[in-house]
Amino acid sequence: MKKKTASKNQIQLDFGGVLGWVCGVDEVGRGPLAGPVIAAAVILDPNRPIEGLADSKILSPERRAELDILIRARAYAHAIGRAEVEEIDKLNILQATLLAMQRAVAALHVAPDLAYIDGNRCPVLPCRAEAIIKGDATVPAISAASIIAKVARDLEMVEWDARYPGYGLAQHKGYPTPTHLRALDALGVSPIHRRSFAPVRNRMKQ
């Protein structure tokens, strides 16, 4: 589908007084031993404000779910991008994360003029990009992206838990908790585990 082009109804940005679209971008899932890394890109609509946007990590699951619904209903545009386990193992987690962010921005139904990226690295994008450390706590559009990415990934890990029971994926979402590590010792490595991550790789050698 062809992307919409800028119009006189564009959202006012804060760089140089230029009119344009601004999106926030964040990812979830760099640290887990299993599952994809998922990124989101969100363009908020200033005419439809959303109260309570914050870093997804400090919100309860119930509050994240509520905000996820509001963001999807009120944001001007939102999209999800992902990199699969095979891509993480092939590229490394940093490059896979940047790839997921690229895919999220590319999936927006409007092409942004500026992307605010959470963290200290920017993916290569067809628009201006600015990295903001702890942006998920200070930039509403990044907060919104962190929330919908977190909700999407958590739901997916619950689905993977049903397919690969015993690892506790629905509880720890793939992170290297003691429960998860003990399950790896007992059950071995599943198809959705990241073989390039040391706790998984080392157990494959045993």
Provide mean pLDDT across the span 38-57: 95
In a domain, 195, yes or no: yes
Q: Is residue 169 part of a domain?
A: yes
Residue numbers of the domain that contains 184 = 22-204
Residue at 84 is within a domain: yes
DSSP for the chain, written as a single string = -PPBPP-TTPPB-SSTT-B--EEEEEEE-SS-SBS-EEEEEEE--TTS--TT---GGGS-HHHHHHHHHHHHHHSSEEEEEEE-HHHHHHH-HHHHHHHHHHHHHHHSSB--SEEEEESS-----SSEEEEETTHHHH-HHHHHHHHHHHHHHHHHHHHHHHHSTTS-HHHHTT---HHHHHHHHHH---TTB-TTSHHHHHHHT-
The string of pLDDT tens digits covering residues 62-106 is 999 999 999 999 999 999 999 999 999 999 999 999 999 999 999
Domain assignment of residue 125, yes or no: yes
Per residue in 150-189, pLDDT (tens digit) is 999 999 999 999 999 999 999 999 999 999 999 999 999 9
CB atoms inside a 10 Å sphere around CB 72: 14
The domain that holds 69 is classified in CATH as 3.30.420.10
Edge-to-edge strand list for the sheet holding 22-28: 77-83, 37-43, 22-28, 114-118, 128-132
CA 125 to the chain's CA centroid: 16
pLDDT at 84: 98
Residue 102 in any domain: the answer is yes
Number of domain units in the chain: 1
Is residue 17 in a domain? no
Helix axes 140-163, 61-74, angle to 10 degrees: 120
Asked if residues 133 and 119 have their Cβ atoms less than 8 Å apart, the reply is: yes
Q: Does residue 54 lie in a domain region?
A: yes
What is the model's pLDDT at position 10? 45
Query: How far apart, in Å, are the Cα atoms of 200 and each of 130, 170, 185?
Result: 34, 18, 10
Tell me, yes or no, whether 94 lies in a domain: yes
**pLDDT tens digit sequence for 128-148:** 999 999 999 999 999 999 999
When computed from its CA atoms, the radius of gyration of the chain, rounded to whole angstroms, is 18
Q: What is the pLDDT of residue 206?
A: 65
